[in-house]
Amino acid sequence: MKPNFFKEPIDEASIPQKFTFKPQILSLLAARELQDYLKNQNDWSHNFGLTNQKESPVIGKMFGVLIVKTLENEIGYLAAFSGKLSDKNLFNQFVPPVFDTLAEDSFLSEGMKKISSLSLTIKNLKDLQPKDYERQIIITKKERRNYSIDLQHQLFDHYHFLNQAGEEKSLVAIFKDAGYKNPPAGAGECAAPKLLQYAFQNQLKPLALAEFWWGQSPKSATWQHEQFYAPCKEKCEPILQHMLKGVV
């Protein structure tokens, strides 16, 4: 995937001289082009709550754009979304995830099947109530909890992040160094780490990053449609401290 190059000519003076998260001329222009795509595309379907679509739950989404310079000194941008989009990870228009949790026949897919099987066993024990079923439920719930914890740790171990110097660091190590006992769920799935990872993997120099919310906001959140926000502190700050070493 090559960077997107701007539809309009860009002024040399608008090229950031220092990496920034604050929306500036080029990142605002890239965001506007991405928003135009989101308004008009027919490549996929996702209910952002902006139309009368009712067949699927409303899920607003954070999107990000990263202004980059190629080895040929061309200026363009990359685009990403947080989490999943339309229950998928891979799209031609967006950079891939750091680790694809939806890959078929992966350890995660098999692990989720086992958790579902244990949940079904618990349900059947409750429904059928065989001899000593209460003790069996307790044992099975403990097995499910321990397996779920192990699976989460295994997942964290599959996330490794680069920085500009090519240094790779695991998600577990990043959060341990930051004083966390464990990474929070969903760490590494936000737009900013995805964008920087792809840039470093492909010898693209990051110049500016901006993230905006698209769609309705969850009841518990305050994100507003088309508004820009800084990367989250809980999930992103420790990761970005590693990834942006030598950049900021």
How many CB atoms within 10 Å of residue 207?
22
- pLDDT tens digits for range 27-83: 999 999 999 999 999 999 998 988 776 667 888 999 999 999 999 999 999 999 999
At 84-127, the pLDDT tens digits run: 998 899 999 999 999 998 887 778 888 999 999 999 999 999 99
Is the full-model pTM beyond 0.95? Answer: no
pLDDT of residue 54: 67
* CA dist., res. 94 & res. 230, Å (int): 20
Nearest residue to 206 via CA among 162, 158, 160, 159 = 162
Contacts of 185 (CB under 8 A, 6+ apart): 152
The model's pLDDT over 198-232, given as tens digits with 9 standing for 90+, comes to 999 999 999 999 999 999 887 666 789 999 999 98
User: Which among 141, 83, 150, 56 is positioned nearest to 110, based on CA atoms?
Assistant: 150
Q: Is 215 left (phi over 0), alpha (psi -120 to 50) or beta?
A: left
Residue type, 97: P
3-state helix, strand, coil in the chain (%, to 5): 40, 15, 45
pLDDT of the residue at 128? 93
pLDDT value at residue 197: 97
Classify the phi-psi angles of 49: left when phi > 0, otherwise alpha if psi is within -120 to 50, otherwise beta: left
Question: What does the pLDDT average to over 19-33?
Answer: 94
Measured between alpha carbons, how far is 16 from 21 in angstroms, rounded to an integer?
A: 11
The answer to whether 208 touches 27, Cβ cutoff 8 Å, is yes
Contact 225, 182 (CB under 8 A): no
Q: Per-residue pLDDT tens for 140-195?
A: 999 999 999 999 888 888 899 999 999 999 999 999 998 888 898 889 999 999 99
At 59, list the tokens: 């899920």
More confident residue, 161 or 234: 161
pLDDT value at residue 110: 87
Lowest mean per-residue pLDDT among 5-14, 35-44, 213-222, 237-246? 213-222
What pLDDT is recorded for position 49? Answer: 87
- Residue appearing with tokens 């990474």: 183
Q: CB within 8 A of 199, min separation 6: which ones? A: 66, 68, 78, 205, 206
**Rounded CA separation 61/85 (Å):** 8
Would you state the pLDDT for residue 71?
A: 94
Q: Place 8 in a pLDDT band, splitting at 50, 70 and 90.
A: confident
Q: What is the pLDDT of residue 73?
A: 92
Instruction: pLDDT band for 3, please (50, 70, 90 cuts).
Output: very high
pLDDT of res. 166: 92
Instruction: Calculate the alpha carbon distances from 122 to 44, 111, 114, 131 in Å.
Output: 37, 17, 13, 14
